[in-house]
Each structure stands twice: as C-alpha cells, then as structure tokens.
Amino acid sequence: MELDSVHNYYERLVFQEIKENYSGLLDDGLLADMACIALNRIPPRYIRYDIDMSFFLTTEERVTIEHQVRKACKKAYKKLLAFQESHPEEDLL
C-alpha cells in the first residue's frame, strides 16, 4: 500500500542521533522513551521518500534540522536523567 511509505522525516534522524551519541548510556527501553520525547519536541514533517527531502533542502535548512534534532535529543536525555534522580525507587520501564 502506498500509504506505508509515509513517515515523519525526523524519525530516522532522531534514531541516528540517539544511536551515535547515547547508546550505552541508557538501556534500550529508555532509549526508545528518549526517542519519543525528542520527536514530540520537533514538529513532524511527513514525507514519502527521504531522498526527496534531502534534494530540496538548502544547506541552511539542513543545518537547522540537525541543530533541532541534537537539541531535542539532549533535552530528552536530560529529562530522563532528571526523572531518574527524582524517582530513584521507580523503574521507568
């Protein structure tokens, strides 16, 4: 079905940022929670093909997107750490 190709452009970017910079700092469940928190901080941008998005972005837009993704992931990570510190007896999973 053609609808299966529709997705949020930022998903892949957020997942990549988390894998490259946060793997090993949190368990897989918390990394998934972190991805959800980060993605909810960025307005969705739905597309069918990543290549189309890449082709039409200017350098300035690409830099802005990378900054948004890094910032959202960093804030999500800090939010999870703050929750863990304030609720040490609770299991986040």
Give 7-55 pLDDT, tens digit per residue: 999 999 999 999 999 999 988 999 999 999 999 999 999 999 888 787 8
Give residue 24's region: left, alpha or beta (phi > 0; psi -120 to 50): left
Model confidence at 92, in pLDDT bands (50, 70, 90)? Answer: low
The single-letter code of the amino acid at 6 is: V
Q: How many CB atoms lie within 10 A of CB 72?
A: 22
Note the pTM of the prediction, 2 decimals: 0.86
